[in-house]
Structure 1
Amino acid sequence: MDHARGNPAREKTLTKGYAAASKGAAKVARFRLAVSFAKAVLDRRRELGLSQAEVAERSGLSQAKIARIESAASFPTLPLLRRLAVGLNASLNIAMDADREQITFTAHPAA
């Protein structure tokens, strides 16, 4: 066997394993982020004493979309994040590093 050329079949098998593990880790990270965001939205909505329908109306979204976000079934795009922040009368703060994230809404001062 020529070790300089390696074993292409074995390399493919090993690479596939790493790719699968990487995809799995990415799914877990995405879910963890969605749950953190869902909690932040829910906490702020409750702090304001608003229903999902009221937040939806203030944000220009559907009540169903707010429900999906709060259940971590949907993760919003950047434009939608802005609309939610406006609807929740707050600034959205996101801090992330490799293994954790912190998502909060900071209330705007009363006018």
Structure 2
Amino acid sequence: MALGLSQAEVAARAGLTQGKVSRIEGADTVPTLPLLRRLAQALDATLTIALDGDHEEVSFTDRRAA
């Protein structure tokens, strides 16, 4: 999804600090499910989490693309 938003813009939409968004994006922190939900809402996206054995995947899908 390419919305062209800066970290500061995503943070403002999600009610987070830019530093928190930076840590999540840089994999320096493990986001909680409620935090991922806030980010999905901020990005107007659907959040999908897949867990299978040793593999996990988190993806955001732009709702406007549907």
TM-score of the two chains, using structure 2 as the length reference: 0.88
Moved over 3 A (4+): none
Q: CA deviation at 1:108?
A: 1.1
Aligned length in residues: 65
What is the alpha-carbon distance in structure 1 between the residues aligned to residue 63 and residue 8 of structure 2? 21
Residue in 1 that maps onto 2:29 = 74
1:61 aligns with 2:16: yes
Q: CA deviation at 1:98?
A: 1.1
Q: CA deviation at 1:102?
A: 2.2
Residue in 2 that maps onto 1:109 = 64
TM-score of the two chains, using structure 1 as the length reference: 0.55
Equivalent positions of 1:1-111 (< 5 A) are 44=1, 47-109=2-64
- Please say which structure displays the higher CA radius of gyration: 1
Q: CA deviation at 1:57?
A: 0.4
1:31-66 deviations in Å (ceiling 9; x for gaps)? xxxxxxxxxxxxx4xx10000000000111000000
What is the alpha-carbon distance in structure 1 between the residues aligned to residue 29 and residue 59 of structure 2? 17
Kindly report the root-mean-square deviation, in angstroms, between the aligned alpha carbons of the 2 structures. Answer: 1.3
More strand by share: 2
One-letter code aligned to 1:73: D
Q: Which runs of 5+ in 2 are unaligned?
A: none
What is the alpha-carbon distance in structure 2 between the residues aligned to residue 108 and residue 77 of structure 1? 22
Percent identity at matched positions? 60
